[in-house]
């Protein structure tokens, strides 16, 4: 939960601090929604937000689309390529 901490309001403008807080709230809500969408039999269903961010959101892949299938080419350092 430390990745979504909203205790830093270091902007001089109150409006900027409110926007930052709204963005943190939206990010928290989005991560909760993503975690709830994961089937309960998977270990990621109870994972922390940092784990979800690393395993789902920060993965880059090359997408090759053909007429019959879509292939994903993951990097060699990908933690869970399947």
- Tens digit of each residue's pLDDT (9 = 90 or more) over 15-27: 888 888 888 889 8
Within-domain flag for 80: no
How far apart, in whole angstroms, are the C-alpha atoms of residue 56 and residue 51? 8
- Is 78 within the bounds of a domain? no
Q: How far apart are CA 40 and CA 53, in angstroms?
A: 18
Q: Is residue 79 part of a domain?
A: no
Helix, strand, or coil (residue 73): strand
Using CA of residue 80, residue 57, residue 76, residue 47, what is the dihedral sign?
A: negative
What is the DSSP code (8-state) at residue 69?
Answer: -
Q: Does a structural domain hold residue 2? A: no
77 assigned to some structural domain: no
Helices (H), the chain: 14-37, 49-52
Q: pLDDT tens, 43-73?
A: 888 888 888 887 777 677 788 888 898 888 8
How many domains are there within the chain?
Answer: 1
Is residue 1 in some structural domain? no
In a domain, 16, yes or no: yes
Query: Would you say residue 43 lies in a domain?
Result: yes
In this structure, what DSSP letter does residue 50 have?
H
Q: Is 22 helix (H, G, I), strand (E, B) or coil?
A: helix
Domain of 27? 8-72
């Amino acid at each position: 939960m430390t990745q979504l901490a909203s205790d830093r309001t270091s902007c001089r403008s109150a409006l900027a601090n409110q926007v930052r807080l709204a963005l943190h709230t939206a990010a928290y809500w989005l991560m909760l929604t993503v975690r709830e969408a994961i089937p309960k039999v998977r270990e990621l269903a109870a994972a922390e937000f940092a784990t979800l961010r690393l395993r789902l959101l920060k993965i880059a892949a090359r997408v090759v689309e053909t007429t019959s299938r879509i292939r994903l080419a993951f990097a060699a350092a990908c933690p869970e390529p399947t």
